[in-house]
Amino acid sequence: MSTLTHLDASGAARMVDVSEKPATDREATAQAIITLSPEAYDAALSGNAKKGDVLGAARIAGIMAAKKTADLIPLCHPIALTKAVVEFEPLADRHAIRILATARTTGPTGVEMEALTAASIAALTIYDMVKAVDRAARIDGVQLLAKSGGKSGAYRASALDEKEPIATRLAKARAKPSTLMGALAAPRAEAPTPAQREMFRAFMTSHGLRASIWAKDAGVSPALVYAFLTGKASSIPADAAQKLARVAKVRVEDMYK
């Protein structure tokens, strides 16, 4: 059994002396999952929560937390991070959001705690942003997914699909947060501008439409609407747009004016 490096010979807590360890490239990725009510999930992804942009605030909070880890965890070394990334993967089937946090440095000690802290604080920030809607939101699944560099070498959580590297999962979270969102075809020949996306959001607000309810009434996956609203997809598929317009009793083009 390995000894605990944060305890000295007498059992007292200590900060590990890393002065003799070589500087190597190190990276770690961690996750946290927050499960929400349908209403809170809708608010978090729509960007229309009472407190503002839920995921935007959570992303900044996670990055800040990674940089402040040594101030929060007593025996962690202050680390000069070269990278801190927080991404979100909507899990529409369970009204949950999976947070993926990655930290990187070149130095004598690893960044596992930075990644774990970033994921945890991002999840707590989501909770804070939506607690007025859902105080029963649950945070779990906080876990180190992978790390590289250092004497101990690479590590991957056993539950992960070995055929899909963490970098690939992060890329998918950025470009296509959920398989339910799919590859989306535009309802117009050209991709809508950010202004048109905002007009679509304004249309929903003016007509009192909630993404999850509107999509359900139209027989459309809510994830298609969320993906467009959050900028993860360039547009809504033409057939889905037609169904949404039919329920709202407008023309498709009216939803973008």
The catalytic residues are 128
What one-letter code names the amino acid at 70? A
Contacts (Cβ under 8 Å, ≥6 apart) of 70: 76, 77, 78, 79
CB 89, CB 100: distance < 8 Å: yes
Euclidean distance between the first and the last CA atom of the chain, given in angstroms as a whole number: 65
Burial call 242-255: b when 16+ CB within 10 Å, e when fewer: ebbbebbeeebeeb
The secondary structure element, H or E, covering residue 67 is helix 54-67
Token pair of 4 as six digits: 């605990």
Q: How far is CA 232 from CA 103, 117, 197, in A?
A: 23, 25, 11
Distance, in Å, from the CA atom of 213 to the CA atom of 29, rounded to the nearest integer, reads 35
Contacts (Cβ under 8 Å, ≥6 apart) of 249: none
| DSSP code, position 110 | -
Cα-atom radius of gyration of the chain, to the nearest Å?
Answer: 21
CB atoms within 10 A of CB 189: 5
Distance, in Å, from the CA atom of 185 to the CA atom of 132, rounded to the nearest integer, reads 35
